[in-house]
A and B are shown apart, each in its own frame.
Chain A
Amino acid sequence: MALGRKSTLTRVLTVDLPMLAILAFTLGPYLWMLLTSLTAEESLFTRGPSVFDLVWSNYERLFANVGFARNMLDSFIIAAGTVVVGLTLSVTAAYSFSRFEFRFKKVLLLQFLLINMFPLVLLILPLFVLMRQLGLLDTHVALIVANSTIAIPFSVWMMTSYINGIPKSLDEAAMTDGCSRLQAMRKVILPLCAPGIIATGIYIFITAWNEYLYALTLGGQNVRPITVAVQTMIGEYQVQWGLLTAGGIVGALPATILFLIVQRRLVGGLSQGAVKG
C-alpha cells in the first residue's frame, strides 16, 4: 500500500506508533510475567514487581524444591516421541499423496484435515477409557499416542504441500537413471525435503510440549509434563505468583525459542496451504 515517499513524521505517526501499541499489547503480559518471576516473593505483595531489585530466588526454588527438571524431562520425552511417530508415518504418505493419482485420494487427504477439526473432548473421553483398559494411564506411551492424533494429520498435510513444491521431473530424472520409485523417493526427494521435515518436526514438538488437557487426563503422578506441573503449583502452594510465573517462563521458553527459529519457514508453509483457496 505504501506508495510514493512519505515523510518520516507521517510514517512514525501512522505506522511506527500504532505498531508499537500493538506490540505493547502483545508483549506486555509476557514481560509482566517475566518481571514478576524475577521479584522476590516477599516483596511481591508489598511493593509489587519492580525492575530495580531483580532476584533469581524463584527460579532456584523451582528447580530445588519443586522438581521442575523431572517435569521438563517428561515433556521432552513425550514431545520427542510424538515427533518421531508423526514424521515416520507421514513422510511416505505425503509422498504418495503428492506423486500418485489413485481412487479416493481426495477423500483420504481431506479426512486428515477433518481429524484436526474435531473437538478434543470427542477423543479425550474414549482415549481415557482405552488407556485405562490397556493399563497405559500415567505412561509416556499414552501421551505420545494422544499427541499423535494431532501430529499425524498436521504432518501429512504440511509434508504433502512441501513435496508438491518439489518438481516431479526430479523423480523422473532419477528413475530414468535407473532408480526405482522407492529409491528415487529415498535418495532424491527425502534429502530435498529436509527443511520441510525439520520445520514440521519442530512444530509438532512445540504443540506436544504445550499440550495440556491430554497431559492432565492421561498423565498423573509418574508422568507429569511441565504444563500440568505449572498448573498444579496453584493448589500445592497458596498461589505463589513468583514461583508460578517462573515456572511459566521456563515452561514456555523451549517452545518460544524454537518457534522464533522456524517461524519464517513455518508461516510460509501454513499460509501457502491456505492462500491457495
Chain B
Amino acid sequence: MTSIPVPEQAGSSPSRGTALWRQVMPLALLSPAVLVTLAIVFFPMVQTAWMSLHEYVLFRPKNFDWVGLQNYLNVFQDEVFWISLRHTVLWIAITVPAQALLGLATALLLNQQFPWRPIARALIIIPWALPSVVIALMWAWIYDSNYGILNDLLLRIGILEASIPWLANPDTALYAIILTLTWQGFPFFAVMILAGLQSIPRSYYEAASLDGASPLRQFWHITLPGISGVLFTAILLRTIWVANSMDVIFVMTGGGPGYSTYTLPLYAFLEARTNLNFGYGSALAMTFTLLLLGIVILYLKRSAKAVQ
C-alpha cells in the first residue's frame, strides 16, 4: 500500500537503484515460499478440479475422456455419498462439542492453583503428540471384542452382559471412533482455552467477589465472555480439522462394517485408492471441499481481522 512513487527525474542514479531494490526486495524474499506452494499445492489442486471433469480410472491410463459435470451429477445420485455426508455431519456435530467441553473443563482445572499443576499441564498434551496411526491401533486394541480392556471392564462392573464388538458392530462403530477422536483432540482445546483464561485480568474476579458475585455468576459474566473469542476460533479450526481427518477412521475400520463409518473425505480417498477411480474420487473431494468452504471462509475472515 505504501509503494512510494519513484520520481522519474530523481537526480543521481544510485539512489534510484536502491529505491527500486527497496520495492522489489519484499517480493524477492517472499517468492521462494510462494512459488513452491504454487507448484506443490495450487497446481495439484487445479489438477484435481481438472480430473473431476474427466472419466479417469487409473488402470486405463489411456482413457482421459472429458465428461463435463457428469461426475458431479453422479455424486448427487450416489447413495453412498449421502450416507457419507450424514456421517460427516454427525461426526463433526458430536466430536467438536465433546472436545470443546472436555477441553474447557480441563482448562478451568489447569487454571487453578495446585502443587502438581506443571506436570498435569505437560502430560495432558500427550494425545496431541501421538501419531494418529498409533492412536487408532491403540484404541482398536482397547475396543477388541475378545481381549479388549473396555469390554473386560464393562463386564466386570456389570454394565454389559456380553462383550460387544465395538468396531465390527454397525451401530457402535462410528461412536467408538468419535470417542477416540475426542480423546485425540481435546488437549488442543484445553491449551487454547487455558491461554484465553490466563489473559483475563485477576482484578475482574476480585472486584466481582467483593460485590458478592457467586462463582457461577463470575464464570458466566467474566470467564465465558473472556474466552469467547478463543473458543470460537478454536471451534472453527477444530471443525475444519475434524471434518478433514480420516486417518484414524481409515486405520480403525477402513469405513466398515459396510458403509457405517464412511465420511466424505474417506469416501473420496477410498474411491481413488481401492477403485482407482480418480475422476470420480476427485469429484467427491471437490464437492466435500466446497461444502467445507463456508466454515473456512468464516475462519479466514476472523484471521484477517487479527492480522490487521
- A92 and B288 CA atoms in complex are apart in Å by 34
Could you tell me the distance in whole angstroms from the C-beta of A249 to the nearest C-beta in chain B? 8
Contact with B along A188-229 (1 / 0, CB 8 A): 000000000000000000100111110001000000001110
Interface residues of B (CB under 8 A from A): 1-3, 22-23, 25-27, 29-30, 32-34, 36-37, 40-41, 44-45, 47-48, 51, 102, 105-106, 108-114, 120, 122-134, 137-139, 141-142, 144, 146-147, 149, 152, 183, 187, 191-192, 195-196, 199, 205-206, 209, 215, 218-219, 223, 229-230, 232-234, 237, 240, 243-244, 246-247, 250-251, 265, 268-269, 272-273, 278, 281-282, 284-286, 288-289, 292, 296, 299-300, 302-308
Contact A19 B114 (CB under 8 A): yes
Q: Which of A16, A29, A148, A228 contacts B139 (CB 8 A)?
A: A29
Task: Determine whether A252 belongs to the interface, using a CB cutoff of 8 Å to chain B.
Answer: yes
Could you tell me the distance in whole angstroms from the C-beta of B272 to the nearest C-beta in chain A? 5
A1, A32, A213, A248 — most chain B CB neighbours (10 Å): A1
Contact B36 A89 (CB under 8 A): yes
Q: Which of B122, B124, B240 contacts A22 (CB 8 A)?
A: B124
Contact A275 B196 (CB under 8 A): yes
Interface residues of A (CB under 8 A from B): 1-4, 11, 15-16, 18-19, 22-23, 25-27, 29-30, 32-33, 36, 44-45, 48, 88-90, 92-93, 95-97, 99-103, 105-106, 108-115, 117-130, 145, 148-149, 152-153, 156, 181-182, 206, 209-213, 217, 226-228, 230-231, 234, 241, 244-245, 248, 251-252, 255-256, 258-260, 263, 267-268, 270-277
Take A102-B26, A125-B272 as given contacts and tell me if A32 and B149 are in contact as well, using a CB distance cutoff of 8 Å: yes
User: What is the interface of chain B mostly: helix, strand, loop, or mixed?
Assistant: helix
Q: Which of B37, B243, B288 contacts A153 (CB 8 A)?
A: B37
- Report B-chain residues with C-beta under 8 Å of the C-beta of A126: 44-45, 47-48, 51, 282
Could you tell me the distance in whole angstroms from the C-beta of B4 to the nearest C-beta in chain A? 10
- Report B-chain residues with C-beta under 8 Å of the C-beta of A130: 44, 47
The 6 closest A-B pairs by CB, nearest first: A259-B129, A271-B195, A126-B44, A210-B131, A100-B26, A93-B33
- A262 and B132 CA atoms in complex are apart in Å by 20
Contact A212 B132 (CB under 8 A): yes
Could you tell me the distance in whole angstroms from the C-beta of B215 to the nearest C-beta in chain A? 7
User: What residue of chain A has the Cβ atom nearest to residue B24's Cβ?
Assistant: A102
Could you tell me the distance in whole angstroms from the C-beta of A213 to the nearest C-beta in chain B? 5
Q: Which of A213, A227, A231 contacts B269 (CB 8 A)?
A: A213
- Report A-chain residues with C-beta under 8 Å of the C-beta of B137: 230-231, 234, 244-245, 248
- A210 and B134 CA atoms in complex are apart in Å by 9
Contact A251 B285 (CB under 8 A): no
Could you tell me the distance in whole angstroms from the C-beta of B35 to the nearest C-beta in chain A? 9
Could you tell me the distance in whole angstroms from the C-beta of B190 to the nearest C-beta in chain A? 9
A-B pairs with beta carbons under 8 Å apart, 30 shown: A1-B108, A15-B112, A23-B120, A25-B183, A45-B146, A92-B33, A96-B29, A100-B25, A103-B1, A114-B296, A117-B292, A117-B296, A118-B45, A119-B292, A123-B45, A124-B272, A125-B272, A145-B40, A206-B129, A210-B131, A210-B132, A213-B250, A228-B133, A234-B137, A241-B141, A252-B134, A260-B122, A260-B125, A270-B191, A277-B233
Take A102-B27, A212-B251, A227-B131 as given contacts and tell me if A1 and B44 are in contact as well, using a CB distance cutoff of 8 Å: no
Could you tell me the distance in whole angstroms from the C-beta of A54 to the nearest C-beta in chain B? 17
- Report A-chain residues with C-beta under 8 Å of the C-beta of B22: 181
Contact A125 B285 (CB under 8 A): yes
- Report A-chain residues with C-beta under 8 Å of the C-beta of B299: 117
